[in-house]
Amino acid sequence: MRKKQFKAESKKLLDMMINSIYTHKEIFLRELISNASDALDKQYYNSFGKDTGMVREDYTIRIEPNKADRTLAIIDNGCGMTAEELETNLGTIAKSGSLDFKNENENEEKKTDIEIIGQFGVGFYSAFMVSKRVVVESRASGADQANRWISDGVEGYSIEKCDSPADHGTVITLYLKDDTEDEKYSEFLEEYEITNLVKKYSDYIRYPIVMNCENRVPKEKAEGEEDKPTEYETVYEDRQLNSMVPIWRKNKNEVTEEEYNNFYSEKFYDFEAPLKVIHSKNEGVPTYDSLIYIPSRAPFNYYSKDYEKGLALYSNGVMITEKCAELLPDYFNFARGLVDSPDLSLNISRELLQHDRQLKVIAKNIERKIKTELEKMLKDDRENYIKFFEAFGVQLKAGIYTSYGMAKETLQNLLIFKSTNDGEYVTLSEYKDRMPESQKGIYYACGETVSKIEMLPQTEAVKAAGMEVLMLTNDIDEFTFKMMRDFDGKEFINICTDGLDIGTEEDKKAVEEKNENSKELLDFIKESLGDKVTAVRFSNRLGNHPVTLTSGSDISTEMEKVINSQHFGEKIKAQLTLEINSDHKIAEKLTALYGSDKDSVAKYAKLLYNSACLISGIDIENPGEFSDLVCDLIV
Ligand code: ADP
């Protein structure tokens, strides 16, 4: 029999397959099953209205592993191929030019190869990633004769006549490559592996994919043997491996909550029900169905480098990739789910660029959808939204920070913070709506815990003035505010900085006077504290507290802590002011002592400074000295 040569293009692709270093060689099965499904479609539609004696259920794809021969057969009763079709369809890759986008550069080429195989599959030739020989026996619908196409790879192929038991259809037999250290091709003969691969990639093929599977069943007991222990026997029976109808293709009203949740836990291995299911159909261009879940908790590796974002991508029910990162922005990386679009093809021959553009459109739509659904949840289902935010809120804040504020518009209305108003979460716009007219900006304070923030003298003062404070307990919070600068025209103000401006003009004037009159005392205190503070002053906004520390508005003490804990270069330092309550007895005492006993004033300055550190959540630099000073007071 004369051996025929592949066309140059096909040879190139085939060579790429045979020598592929692609790690997911398993996709060959997906490709062959998809081809079989297409052939069934053709046969089904061509015979429409004709009396073929076949009903839809008769159209099947069968998988037959044979361990003894190391072969795997994929069998369909689809339209089949004539000898000419075998020649043209398998001897040439159908659409030439499909390799045009490959780069001439050798290394680049290898990379592109892998990308092509991974993202879009390569059809029939992918069989050569796992086979040393491929035999295709096919009989076209209505033809008398069946034909056999045989190829051992790049060397070429031959076509001969053969017998066929079926009226129409195709049997593709793969002679698997020998196992190597790295590649165990014989895995593809194992029942569990085949079952898994079908589930993973081809679960929603609209024809049954059947395999004769081993099953252990209880042996029937003879009469009088009911009490004997049950014995089991192995039987072989046909099992359908795919579930056929994807739930995302159904209409929303056809799917129960339980079905959505079951699908979620099976697919994403999360046994806690999701907080939200977003199922939508887009009839525009591109057309797609999407099913997206908002989990109710972060997966264990969410905050590690191992976590990969992405949605599964399907083309007409056939999985293209398990995690398509391009479909989700980083700030929505917690979303799980999938997109299925008939406008994306498994076929190599379409241009990658075009896919990219369509993917981008889908990604934009999905981002918008997630955002509106989260906003809806925030409005209508606060309890669940809080659960969501406590699991993933940091990601939204990081989204604003790492985008240098570019994502602010998208995300700002999704932020919530606890407020001193009632200790509950509040949105920025709710906060703004409650602000008294005189309030200059959105007040916030940072601390390790809500209760520590509530105890700050500044918090008490702001509350006493009838205003509320947002309590920021996460490291990233203040950085996010700094990046946002304002919300709807209202600037963010850290109440522990010199940006806080409350009290009447009269009050302010009185303190100003007191500061001027006590300049010498205040300078003396500052001097005794060395470079720990940049200023010391009297203040009347501390409520009942004797002292506190405020920082300049550029770098707060919280920011100082976070930045210094994260980088190892030169430490940054917040500019601190020690504020002493002008209405507190301590002010009188210091003023009186300054005239008679400066040494004590110096000592008390240190004590007061350290107390202020404690209140503000700053570590005391020298606890030994502090403790000695306290003991001196007692003895
Ligand atoms: P594609 O499916 O993307 O067109 P393939 O290389 O996978 O490219 O297949 C080439 C062609 O071979 C198909 O278009 C189809 O006409 C034919 N073909 C492949 N498998 C079968 C099959 N099982 N039955 C009938 N025709 C098939």
User: Which among 382, 403, 418 is the end of a domain?
Assistant: 382
Ligand 1 centroid distance, CA of 201 (Å):
18
Query: pTM of the full predicted structure?
Result: 0.73
Q: Which residue, among 596, 618, 594, has the nearest Cα to 605 in the 3D structure?
A: 594
242 backbone dihedrals φ, ψ, rounded to 5°: -110, 155
Q: Verify that 46 and 187 share a domain, yes or no.
A: yes
**Does a structural domain hold residue 221?**
no
Nearest 5°: CA angle at 161, between 157 and 166?
A: 115
Ligand 1 mutation target, pool 16, 27, 35, 85, most atoms within 8 A of CB:
35
404 CB-side CA count, 13 A: 0
Q: Verify that 207 and 310 share a domain, yes or no.
A: no
Ligand 1 centroid distance, CA of 89 (Å):
6
Q: Is the CB of 36 under 6 A from ligand 1?
A: yes
Ligand 1 centroid distance, CA of 202 (Å):
17
Q: What is the CATH number of the domain that holds 621?
A: 1.20.120.790
What's the rounded Cα separation, in Å, for the pair 149 and 140? 13
Alpha carbon separation from 66 to 34, 60, 74, 211, 212 (Å, rounded): 21, 19, 11, 12, 11
Count of domains forming the chain: 3
Q: What is the pLDDT of residues 173-186, one digit of tens each?
A: 999 999 999 899 99
Ligand 1 centroid distance, CA of 78 (Å):
11
Q: Is residue 470 within 8 Å of residue 417, measured between CB atoms?
A: yes
Give every CB contact of residue 404 below 8 A, 6+ residues apart in sequence. Answer: 483
What's the rounded Cα separation, in Å, for the pair 362 and 285? 9
The protein residue with its alpha carbon nearest to ligand 1, atom 23, reads 36
**Residue range of the domain that includes 147:** 11-215
Ligand 1 centroid distance, CA of 607 (Å):
85
Nearest 5°: CA angle at 220, between 217 and 226?
A: 120
User: Which among 338, 354, 382 is the end of a domain?
Assistant: 382
The protein residue with its alpha carbon nearest to ligand 1, atom 7, reads 123
Q: Which residue, among 534, 449, 448, 554, has the nearest Cα to 494 in the 3D structure?
A: 554
Ligand 1 mutation target, pool 12, 29, 38, most atoms within 8 A of CB:
38
Q: What is the CATH number of the domain that holds 260?
A: 3.30.230.80
Q: Is the CB of 124 under 6 A from ligand 1?
A: yes
| Sign of the Cα pseudo-torsion (342, 347, 349, 350, in order) | positive
**Does a structural domain hold residue 163?**
yes
Q: Is the CB of 173 under 6 A from ligand 1?
A: no
What's the rounded Cα separation, in Å, for the pair 146 and 469? 81
Q: Is the CB of 471 under 6 A from ligand 1?
A: no
**Does a structural domain hold residue 474?**
no
What's the rounded Cα separation, in Å, for the pair 232 and 218? 4
Q: Is the CB of 315 under 6 A from ligand 1?
A: no
Q: What is the pLDDT of residues 494-520, one digit of tens each?
A: 999 988 888 788 888 999 999 999 999
Pair type for strands 486-487 and 490-494: antiparallel
The protein residue with its alpha carbon nearest to ligand 1, atom 17, reads 89
The predicted pLDDT at position 573 comes to: 84
**Does a structural domain hold residue 393?**
no
Q: Is the CB of 35 under 6 A from ligand 1?
A: yes
**Does a structural domain hold residue 227?**
no
The rounded Cα 275 to chain-centroid distance in angstroms is 15
| Sign of the Cα pseudo-torsion (240, 246, 252, 257, in order) | positive
Q: Is the CB of 76 under 6 A from ligand 1?
A: yes
Q: Is the CB of 89 under 6 A from ligand 1?
A: yes
The protein residue with its alpha carbon nearest to ligand 1, atom 10, reads 89
> Helix, strand, or coil here: 381?
coil
User: Which among 348, 382, 416 is the end of a domain?
Assistant: 382
> Helix, strand, or coil here: 450?
helix
Ligand 1 centroid distance, CA of 308 (Å):
34
Q: Verify that 208 and 299 share a domain, yes or no.
A: no
The predicted pLDDT at position 345 comes to: 59
The predicted pLDDT at position 563 comes to: 83
The rounded Cα 312 to chain-centroid distance in angstroms is 11
Q: Is the CB of 123 under 6 A from ligand 1?
A: yes
Q: What is the pLDDT of residues 384-438, one digit of tens each?
A: 999 999 999 999 999 999 999 899 999 999 999 999 999 999 999 999 999 999 8
What residues in the chain have per-residue pLDDT under 70? 1, 21, 93-121, 345-355
What's the rounded Cα separation, in Å, for the pair 164 and 316? 31
